[in-house]
């Protein structure tokens, strides 16, 4: 995914999470994350994990955005 697309979908996910009070939780060291979770009221909505411990997770923000839209969390704070 191109950096411009990653930023676009990251911002969409972040704004949607702000609107619906969904927490974005990262696991691991900064820039070397093992997982990312979207958590609402203590329940994990979606999670992405790194399959290879030697390499950091490449977060697919577009997939997370599409999953949020799939459960009718749309729009966001601007």
Q: Select from 60, 40, 41 the least CA-distant residue to 49.
A: 60
Contact call for residues 30 and 38 (beta carbons, < 8 A) = no
- CB neighbours of 26 closer than 8 A, spacing ≥ 6? 33, 35, 36
- CB neighbours of 48 closer than 8 A, spacing ≥ 6? 35, 36, 57, 59, 60, 63, 64
Q: What is the pTM of this model?
A: 0.88
- Tens of pLDDT, residues 18-74: 999 999 999 988 888 999 999 999 999 999 998 877 788 899 999 999 999 999 998
Q: Return d(Cα 65, Cα 14) in angstroms, integer.
A: 9
């Amino acid at each position: 995914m191109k950096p411009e697309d990653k930023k676009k979908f990251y911002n969409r996910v972040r704004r949607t999470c702000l609107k619906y009070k969904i927490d974005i939780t990262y696991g691991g060291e900064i820039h070397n994350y093992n997982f990312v979770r979207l958590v609402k009221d203590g329940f994990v909505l979606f999670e992405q994990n790194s399959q290879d411990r030697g390499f950091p997770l490449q977060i697919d923000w577009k997939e997370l955005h599409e999953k949020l839209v799939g459960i009718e969390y749309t729009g966001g704070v601007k």
